[in-house]
Amino acid sequence: MRTSHRLLLAALAFVAVAWLPDRIGLAPTGAGTDLGLGGLLGRGSLLAFAVAFAGGVATSLTPCVYPLIPITVSLFGARKAGSRAEAVTLSALYVLGIAVTYSALGVGAAVTGRAFGSVMQNGWAMAGVALVLGALALSMFGAFELRLPSSLQLALNRVGGAGRAGALGMGLVAGIIAAPCTGPVLAAALTFIAAKGSVAFGVGVMFTYALGMGLLFFLIGAFSVALPKSGPWMETVKSVFGVALLAAALVFLKGALPQSRALFSAAHGAAYAAAAAAAAGVLLGALHGSFHGPALARAVKALGVALLVGGIVYGAGAAGAREERQRASATFAWLRSYDQAIAKARSEGRPVILDFWADWCVACKELDQIAWSQPAVQSAAQHFVAVKIDGTAGDDAFTALAERYGVVGMPTVVFLDGHGREVPDRVMGVVSAKEMLSRLEGVDGACDKLESLPDAAPEDRRPGAVPVACAMRW
């Protein structure tokens, strides 16, 4: 690789590590939000399916899903499809596999009444995904080749061909790998599927979402019938994919070990140091070096990969630390004890905000960033007793409160008026500051207004509403 190209890649790595983590962590638009899916599903709008598809497309463009690209490329490159029609067929089967996986999530959410998004983002799931991604990274660096056993290949050939069956099977696996990083769109969908309890509804929404997420992979597979001949450039491409996979594995592992957050500094200087390490890794050969040369060359390549991957991971961790510091410095203070909050509300006759959240919940953090951190919302919330109900550990106390209030996914925000009655409207998913402000302003008098209506039904049966309108909660 030319020196000028190497310097350019190093500069790009520095800029990306120093700048991108702050932009993709809790952005107010794009795949980071639920795109209004929660509200559309709550109203039963058919537009929710279009938004679910768009959310899937947006999710496929996020860095978290990028590790699936090398899997897709290697899959269809290995199939050696003889025609465009065959490539389209293989690609469609691959996407169908992804859709089947997510449809199964929808069925599970509808049947059990639990949002599987929280299950797929817990520590054990993250650790498992980290192991899979780490193994795939080693494969990209040439440690081993991923091949089906000969006996299994023969069996697949007898039932319709290894290529098509293999494409479908890899799609099923790809859906599992991507599940923890598909963000608030998936969380919002599973939350309302669980609340609605309809298997058909769950399959329809999740299948549509998966088709949107699989569009990128379909295009990659369908139009990569013949890959260029291998050469030195292929080593660089495989190294890029290997670095991406290894960095993703370590980011997932970081999420599975909450205590690791103490290692990351919130200082901007830490981000620049991480960016410098990443740039140095590129210069040492993380992307253009080879693990197939002399021992010294392999050692330099390994050092370069370690610096580049370490810089990426530390840059992401430093961005997370800055987000935590920003939340900690907010003027709006949350109580952490439910019993303390209810006792305070009773004695002072004040309304209550119950925010069900978890530390691993991306959408919960985004709700903090978009709504709760805004001055207008904080000013309106001063009238309330506000408490965070922490579901990070999923202990018995949280489970009991979640069952008491009918919480099936996070984030969920429940409002009680000054008399301890739960108002009909709750927040499920990510909403804007304007909408949150409107919800807060509508709490006082909401139950009195509902009960004064002559035709008020004893139950509010809208999806996502409480089982009984204005039920007493203390």
Encode 220-262 in three state secondary structure. Answer: HHHCCCCCCCCCHHHHHHHHHHHHHHHHHHHHHHHHHCHHHHH
User: Binning pLDDT at 50, 70 and 90, where does residue 289 land?
Assistant: confident
Q: Is the pLDDT of residue 377 over 90?
A: yes
Specify the pLDDT at position 314: 94
**Residue 352 β-bridge partners:** 385, 416
Q: Is the pLDDT of residue 322 over 90?
A: no
Question: Tens of pLDDT along 53-105?
Answer: 887 887 776 555 655 666 666 555 544 555 677 778 878 888 888 888 888 87
Specify the pLDDT at position 329: 65
The whole-chain average pLDDT of the chain stands at 76
Q: CATH no. for residue 412? A: 3.40.30.10
Percentage, residues of the chain above pLDDT 70 = 67
Q: Is the pLDDT of residue 464 over 50?
A: no
Residue 332 inside a domain? The answer is no
> Same domain, yes or no, for 322 and 346?
no
Half-sphere exposure of 104 (CA within 13 A, CB side): 11
> Same domain, yes or no, for 125 and 182?
yes
> Same domain, yes or no, for 132 and 241?
yes
> Same domain, yes or no, for 195 and 218?
yes
Is 106 or 286 the better-scoring residue by pLDDT?
Answer: 286
CB 167 within 8 Å of CB 75: yes
> Same domain, yes or no, for 318 and 367?
no
Domain limits at 418? Answer: 338-452
Mean pLDDT of 297-321: 92
> Same domain, yes or no, for 282 and 345?
no
Is 270 or 473 the better-scoring residue by pLDDT?
Answer: 270
State how far the Cα of 367 lies from the Cα of 412, in Å rounded to an integer. 10
CB 213 within 8 Å of CB 65: yes
Lowest mean pLDDT among 161-170, 319-328, 356-365, 367-376: 161-170
Q: Who's near 293: CB < 8 A, 6+ residues apart? A: none
Lowest mean pLDDT among 29-43, 167-181, 278-292: 29-43
Mean pLDDT of 334-348: 94
State how far the Cα of 220 lies from the Cα of 174, in Å rounded to an integer. 14
**N-terminal to C-terminal alpha carbon distance within the chain:** 69
> Same domain, yes or no, for 89 and 185?
yes
> Same domain, yes or no, for 169 and 202?
yes
Q: Which of 242, 237, 258, 439 is nearest to 355 (CA)?
A: 439
**Residue 416 β-bridge partners:** 352, 422
Question: Tens of pLDDT along 148-202?
Answer: 455 644 554 443 345 677 778 777 767 666 655 555 556 666 666 765 556 777 7
> Same domain, yes or no, for 145 and 166?
yes
Q: Is the pLDDT of residue 354 over 90?
A: yes
> Same domain, yes or no, for 72 and 188?
yes
DSSP code of residue 423: P
Q: Is the pLDDT of residue 306 over 80?
A: yes
Domain count, the chain: 2
What backbone phi and psi angles, to 5 degrees, belong to 226? -125, 110
Q: Is the pLDDT of residue 37 over 60?
A: no
Specify the pLDDT at position 419: 92
State how far the Cα of 316 lies from the Cα of 19, in Å rounded to an integer. 10
> Same domain, yes or no, for 342 and 305?
no
Helix (H, G, I), strand (E, B) or coil at 108: helix
Residue 170 inside a domain? The answer is yes
